[in-house]
Amino acid sequence: MKRKLFAVSMAAAMATSCFAGTAFASDSEPVTIKVTRACFNLANPDSEQVKKVQDAINEYIKDKINVQIELTDIGSGEYTEKANLALANNEINLLWTASWESTIGTNDLVPANAVYDITDLLPGTPLYESMDEGQWEATKYDGKNYFVPVYKDNVEGYDVMFRKDLVDKYGWDISSVKTLADLEPMLADLEAEGLKYPYLSQKTAMFYRYYINDFDFFTADSQSNWVAVDRSTNEVVDTVLTDQYKEFCTLMAKWAEAGYISEDEVTKTTTDTTTQTQDWGISWWTDIPVNAEANSRYNQEVVMTPITDRWAHSTSALGSCYTVTANSTPEEAQACVDFLGLLYTDSKLADLYTFGIEGEDFNYVDGKVEQTDAGKYNHSMWESASATIVTPLTTEPDDKAELYKDFNGGANTSCAAGFRFDKNEVADKYAACQNVFNEYGFALENGGYGVDQIEDTIAQYQAALDEAGYQDVLAAFQAQYDEWKAENGSETTDESVEEESSSVAE
């Protein structure tokens, strides 16, 4: 069940390091590309500092590639809306996105014909050689390359995250946590001391994350977690009607009634920076090779314990990526590939793009990066460039690159890996079902209903889905998956892993 899909070629990295140090000369005018990215570490990036970083990047790359950039940095809370508008107005050439983003996610952009086919631009380039061929194969759509994955934790697994000061204060043994229910004594401690958010869901409906040992949620979207492949049967199922869904929603209702989950989660009052405050005690974290990265992201020390296994599947390598937009000219598309090629192979550029200006936004301390508290420009490796080229933080190990390669290679491979659903034939009904999730599913998964309401509300949820056309969507999923299995000879299941994994909510 295990195989190394995502190893990075060290020989390629050595070859591209030669490229990064080679002087570039051209008599032609540089091609300017408009780069738009999300910022998850600052609610409101400082536009003047972003311009300063942009200018520093352009000065650094002018003798290396015939490209200049215009950089737009948008706080993650506004990113979807603002980037989508800019995309519609043809104001972007290189866009950061992810499989889990809404509206401008990878599963939205391809059907909308909003992405540029770079398949023929990649071979032989420093960008292509910066990663193993398996990365490019894993991120193809219909056999074509539209996305450039950030080489990071390109398999998926989840942890429960704790503020370390609270772990120390109460003497919790977090290694004893094997299911969500095991958290209840700890949550009771936090509620008793009056903490605002004993459990912080970060405005996320977590069924599709906490239950990946049971299901492959190949849509990679909480709004459409009503369909998945059951790992034990290798069949497409309606997850709303599963025992696991009822179990999870009931547990969240129980926690809300006990005061462990705030109504702020249902009303989405919490922000992406709530985790940087002292208002919460326990939350969730996407498992990565160096979990200590969370300390700098949240401006406090946190610790984690696994709550799921790690899985390689169709969208796991697209958890952070770039795409060249369809409105780009051939010259602009080539410039985007050239820029990313340098970004993925040149540590100085990668650090500049990730951390900002040395001496202002960060400093080098014994060959590692120490970020300042200036709060003007602040990004993380996972949404910037390859883990093999971005300089580790002072809180991270020296062998960070090797840890990432081992992490990606040690995952379970899903029986549905490689399958991608084409929703065009049921696009309107699919969108209508997502709206039904927003009406029922999100609240169900965030404690918005009482324990005694769960069974009836799930029935209402399913009825509303059916009225929106869910059965047609489900049938389309089943037909496409069955066809894919027949073509790929995929009749295996994930039973071996399923047998080892108990329900996460028990």
**pLDDT tens digits along 192-223:** 999 999 999 999 999 999 999 999 998 778 89
Q: What is the pLDDT of residue 5?
A: 32
Q: Mean pLDDT for the chain?
A: 90
CA 204, 392, 16: angle at the middle one, nearest 5? 105
Q: Is the pLDDT of residue 498 over 70?
A: no
Residue at token pair 């999100």? 442
At residue 103 the predicted structure's pLDDT band, cuts being 50, 70 and 90, is confident
Cβ pair 416, 481 in contact under 8 A: yes
The predicted model gives 469-494 an average pLDDT of: 86
Query: For the chain, which domains are there?
Result: 10-154+316-412 (3.40.190.10), 157-309+422-506 (3.40.190.10)
At residue 2 the predicted structure's pLDDT band, cuts being 50, 70 and 90, is very low
- Of residues 329 and 299, the one with the higher pLDDT is 329
At residue 297 the predicted structure's pLDDT band, cuts being 50, 70 and 90, is confident
- Of residues 324 and 28, the one with the higher pLDDT is 324
Instruction: Report d(CA 67, CA 413) in Å as an integer.
Output: 39
Q: Is the pLDDT of residue 389 over 70?
A: yes
Instruction: Report d(CA 221, CA 154) in Å as an integer.
Output: 16
Q: Which residue in 413, 213, 407, 181 sits closest to 308, CA to CA?
A: 213
Q: Is the pLDDT of residue 342 over 70?
A: yes
The predicted model gives 324-330 an average pLDDT of: 98
pLDDT in tens, 18-46: 444 445 666 789 999 999 999 999 989 99
Q: Which helix (H) or strand (E) holds 432?
A: helix 427-436
Instruction: Report d(CA 201, CA 109) in Å as an integer.
Output: 27
At residue 492 the predicted structure's pLDDT band, cuts being 50, 70 and 90, is low
pLDDT in tens, 441-456: 999 999 999 999 999 9
Q: What is the pLDDT of residue 12?
A: 37
Q: Which residue in 321, 291, 299 sits closest to 99, CA to CA?
A: 321
Dihedral pair phi/psi, residue 74, rounded to 5° = -120, 130
CA distances from 181 to 23, 168, 184, 247, 248 (A): 58, 21, 6, 11, 10
Dihedral pair phi/psi, residue 141, rounded to 5° = -120, 125
pLDDT in tens, 424-447: 899 999 999 999 999 999 999 999
**Secondary structure in 3-state letters for 71-109:** EEEEEHHHHHHHHHHHHHCCCCCEEEECCCCCCCCHHHH
Q: Is the pLDDT of residue 499 over 60?
A: no
The amino acid at 340: L
At residue 489 the predicted structure's pLDDT band, cuts being 50, 70 and 90, is low
Q: What is the pLDDT of residue 1?
A: 32
Q: What is the pLDDT of residue 316?
A: 83
The predicted model gives 278-285 an average pLDDT of: 97
Residue at token pair 């040395």? 358
Instruction: Report d(CA 58, CA 48) in Å as an integer.
Output: 15
Q: Which of 140-144, 212-216, 247-251, 492-496 has the lowest mean pLDDT?
A: 492-496
Q: Which helix (H) or strand (E) holds 147?
A: strand 147-149
